[in-house]
Structure 1
């Protein structure tokens, strides 16, 4: 299950993000979105967790929690198919 994390501190690393989510279960992947021009964080990222139950607990427990210097917002990521209209 793919999870969107917003309002990340620009200094937060993928390892720190992964560690925060691993408390709640196995993390399949972890990516912080970065600027192409300079490689700096855009302030959001994605974590993928294979077990929906673990993802649900992580979203519930980590939303509005502090990570680094910022209070992060955590929710389920919408798939591209969910956002496309015909």
Structure 2
């Protein structure tokens, strides 16, 4: 399951996110979204957890927790092809 992690401090690293979620299960992939021009964090990222039960537990345990000075938000990510077409 893919989780969206929002409201990260701009200084938070992929390794910090990986360690945070690894405490709740297996993390297959962790991606911090970076600004193309500056190379700095945009304040959100994605965590892929192959075990759905672990992903749900991580979401429940980590949503609204403090990481540094920020209170992060964790929710299930939607694939782009699953999102409704709003251009009509």
| TM-score above 0.5 | yes
**Which residue of 2 is the match for residue 58 of structure 1?**
58
Distance 2:66 2:32 in 1: 17
Give the TM-score normalised by the residue count of structure 1. 0.95
Q: By how many angstroms is 1:84 displaced?
A: 3.9
Q: Output the CA distance in 1 between the equivalents of 2:18 and 2:84.
A: 29
**Which deviations, in whole Å up to 9, do the C-alpha atoms of 1:35-54 show, x marking residues without a partner?**
01111000000000000000
Moved segments of 4+, more than 3 Å: none
d(CA) in 2 for partners of 1:82, 1:37: 29
Query: 2:3 maps to which residue?
Result: 3
Give the distance between the partners of 2:37 and 2:84, measured in 1 at CA.
28
Q: CA deviation at 1:68?
A: 1.8
Is the counterpart of residue 22 in structure 1 residue 17 in structure 2?
no
Unaligned runs of 5+ in 1: none
TM-score (norm 2): 0.93
Tell me how many residue pairs correspond in the alignment: 86
